[in-house]
Structure 1
Amino acid sequence: AKQNGAYIIVIDPRETATAKIADLHLKIKPGTDAALANGMLKIIIEEQLTDGAFIRDRAEGFEEVKRHVASLSLEDISAKTGIQIEQIKKAAVKFAREETGMLFTARGVEQQTDGTAAVRNLLNILISTGKIGKFACGYGAVTGQGNGQGAREHGQKADQLPGYRSIENEADRAYIADVWGIKAEDLPGKGVSAYEMMKKVHEGEITGMFLMCSNPVVSSPNAGFVKSALGKLKFFAAVDLFLSETAILADVVLPASSYLEDEGTMTNLEGRVTLREASKPCPGEARHDWQIICDIAKALGKGRYFSYRSAEDVFNELRKASRGGIADYSGITYERLRKEGGILWPCPEEGHPGTQRLFESSFSHPDKKARMCVVPNEPKVKKDVPTEEYPLILTTGRVMSHYLTGVQTRRSAALKARHFESFMEIHPKTAEKYNIGDRVLVRVESKRGSIIVRSKWSEAIRPDTVFVPIHWADSQNVNDLIAETLDPSCSMPGFKVCSVKIRPSVDNFVNKLS
Structure 2
Amino acid sequence: MTGAADTHCPYCALQCAMQLTPAVSTDASVAAAGGSPVTVSGRDFPTNRGGLCQKGWTSASLLRTPDRLTTPLLRTDGRLRLATWDEALGFVARRLRELRAESGPETVAVFGGGALTNEKAYTLGKFARAVLATPNIDYNGRFCMASAAAGANRTLGIDRGLPFPLEDLGGAQAVLLLGSNVAETMPPSVQHLAGVRAAGGLVVVDPRRSATADLTSDGRGTHVQPVPGTDLVVLLALMHVVLAEGLEDAAYVERRTTGLDDLRRSVASWWPERAEQVSGVPAETLRAVARLLAAASPSSGGAGAYVLTGRGVEQSTQGTATVTAAIDLALLLGLPGRTGSGYGAITGQGNGQGGREHGQKADQLPGYRSIEDDVARAHVAGVWGVDPADLPRSGLPAVELLARLGTPAGPRALLVHGSNIVVSAPDADRVRERIAALDLLVVCDLVPSETALLADVVLPVTQWAEEEGTMTSLEGRVLRRRRALHAPAGVRSELDILADLARRLGSPVRFPTDPAEVFDELARASAGGRADYSGLSHARLDAEPDLFWPCPATPEGEPPHPGTPRLFTRDFPTADGRARLVAVDHTGTVDDVHPGAPVYLVTGRVLAQYQSGAQTRRVPELVRAAPEPLVEIHPLLAERYGIEDGAWVRLDSARGRAVARARVTDAVRIDTVFMAFHWAGEGSVNHLTSDATDPVSGMPGLKVCAVSIEACDNPYDDVSDDGPQERALPTGAGAAA
- TM-score normalized by the length of structure 1: 0.96
Q: Does 1:249 align with 2:454?
A: yes
Distance 1:306 1:426, change over 3 A: farther
Name the residue aligned to 2:479. 274
Three-state SS of the structure 2 residue aligned to 1:454 is strand
Name the CA distance, whole Å, in 2 between partners of 1:308 and 1:476.
42
Residues 62 and 244 of structure 1, relative CA distance in 2, 3 Å threshold: same
How far apart are 1:507 and its partner, in Å? 4.5
Tell me how far 1:140 sits from its aligned partner: 2.0
Residue 14 of structure 1 corresponds to 208
- Determine which of 276, 287, 290 is the counterpart of 1:78: 276
Q: Which residue of 1 aligns with 2:338?
A: 134
Match of 1:478 in 2: 685
- Secondary structure of 1:305's partner? coil
CA contact (8 A) 1:422 1:453 kept: yes
2:610 to 397, 403, 410: 403
**In structure 2, what is the equivalent of residue 367 of structure 1?**
576
Task: Structure 1 unaligned segments of length 5 or more: list them.
Answer: none
**Does 2:362 correspond to 1:151?**
no
Equivalent residue, structure 2, for 1:190: 394
Q: Per the alignment, in what secondary structure is the counterpart of residue 451 of structure 1?
A: strand
User: Which amino acid in 2 is paired with 1:408?
Assistant: Q
Distance in 2 between residues matched to 1:509 and 1:359, nearest whole Å: 55
User: Which of the residues 459, 465, 474 maps onto 1:260?
Assistant: 465
CA distance in 2, matches of 1:3, 1:138: 18
Match of 1:283 in 2: 488
2:231 maps to what in 1?
33
User: Cα distance, 1:161 vs. partner?
Assistant: 0.7
Would you say 1:393 and 2:600 are equivalent positions? yes
Question: Which deviates more, 475-484 or 356-365?
Answer: 356-365
Q: Are 1:35 and 1:378, in contact at CA under 8 Å, matched by a contact in 2?
A: no
Q: 1:248-297: per-residue Cα shift (whole Å, max 9, x none)?
A: 11111000111111221111122111111111111121111222111111
- SS, match of residue 3 in structure 1: helix
Runs of 5+ unmatched residues, structure 2: 1-191, 299-303, 555-559, 718-737
Matched residue, 2:145: none
| SS state at 1:393 partner | strand
Deviation at 1:414, TM superposition (A): 1.1
Q: Secondary structure at the match of 1:50?
A: coil
Amino acid of the residue matched to residue 26 of structure 1? V
Q: How far did residue 356 of structure 1 move?
A: 2.6
Q: Decide whether the 8 Å contact of 1:140 with 1:269 is kept in 2.
A: no
Paired position in structure 2 for 1:172: 376
Cross-structure match for 2:561: 352
Give me the whole-angstrom Cα distance separating, in 1, the residues matched to 2:715 and 2:623: 25
Residue of structure 1 in register with 2:247 after alignment: 49
Q: State the match for 2:426 in structure 1.
A: 221
1:199 has 2:395 as partner? no
SS of corresponding position for 1:317: helix
Contact 2:495 2:513 in 1 (8 A): no
Separation (CA, whole Å) in 2 of partners of 1:106 and 1:262: 30
Preserved contact between residue 442 and residue 503 of structure 1 (Cα < 8 Å): yes
Residue 488 (structure 1) aligned with residue 695 (structure 2): yes
Which of the residues 103, 113, 136 maps onto 2:317? 113
Among residues 524, 533, 537, which one is paired with 1:333 in the alignment?
Answer: 537
The more displaced of 354-363 and 313-322 is 354-363
Residues 1:209 and 2:414 are matched in the alignment: yes
Pairs within 5 Å for 1:408-423: 408-423=615-630
Deviation per CA, 1:129-184, whole angstroms, max 9, x where unpaired? 11001112222222222211111122221111111100111111111111111111
Q: Which range is displaced more, 19-28 or 112-121?
A: 19-28
SS in 2 for 1:120: helix
Whether 1:240 and 2:240 are equivalent positions in the alignment is: no
Contact in 2 for aligned 1:424/1:456 (Cα 8 Å): yes
Q: 1:87 and 2:285 equivalent?
A: yes
Contact 2:499/2:513, CA 8 A, preserved across alignment: no
- 2:215 counterpart of 1:4: no
1:369 and 1:145 mapped to 2: Cα distance? 30
CA RMSD across the alignment: 1.5
| Equivalent position amino acid for 2:195 in 1 | N
CA distance in structure 2 between the aligned counterparts of 1:318 and 1:278, rounded to whole angstroms: 20
The Cα shift of 1:218 comes to 0.8
Q: Once the 2 structures are TM-superposed, how far is the Cα of residue 53 of structure 1 from its aligned partner?
A: 0.9
3-state SS in 2 of match to 1:121: helix
- Rounded to whole Å, the distance in 2 between the matches of 1:234 and 1:307 is 27
> Which letter does structure 2 place at the counterpart of 1:363?
F
Contact 1:275 1:342 (8 Å CA) reproduced: no
What displacement does 1:362 show?
Answer: 1.4
2-side partners of 1:242 and 1:394: how far apart? 30
Structure 1 counterpart of 2:647? 440
Query: Equivalent residue for 1:125?
Result: 329
Aligned to 1:316: 520
Aligned AA (1:433): R
Secondary structure, counterpart of 1:21 in structure 2: helix
Asked whether the 8 Å contact 1:13–1:461 carries over to 2, the reply is yes
Whether 2:222 is the aligned partner of 1:24: answer yes
CA deviation after TM superposition for structure 1 residue 71, in Å? 2.4
Distance 2:635 2:385 in 1: 63
CA distance in 1, matches of 2:282, 2:345: 27
**Cα distance, 1:349 vs. partner?**
2.1
Contact kept in structure 1, 2:499 and 2:512, CA below 8 Å: yes
Q: Give, in whole Å, the separation in 1 of the partners of 2:595 and 2:377.
A: 51
Q: What's the CA shift for 1:508?
A: 9.7
Q: Secondary structure at the match of 2:496?
A: helix
- Following TM superposition, where does structure 1 have runs of at least 4 consecutive aligned residues deviating by more than 3 angstroms? 506-510
Deviations 1:411-450 (A, max 9, x none): 1111111111111011111111111111110001111111
Q: How many residues align?
A: 507
CA distance in 2, matches of 1:345, 1:28: 36
Counterpart of 2:692 in 1: which secondary structure? Answer: coil
Q: Which amino acid aligns with 2:308?
A: F
Cα separation, 2, equivalents of 1:123 and 1:160: 23
Which whole-Å CA distance do the structure 2 matches of 1:439 and 1:344 have between them?
Answer: 47
Q: Deviations over 1:352-382 (max 9, x none)?
A: 1111311111112211111111111225xx5
Shift of 1:54: 0.9
* Deviation for aligned residue 1:195: 1.8
Structure 1 residue 199: Cα displacement: 2.1
CA contact (8 A) 1:397 1:469 kept: yes
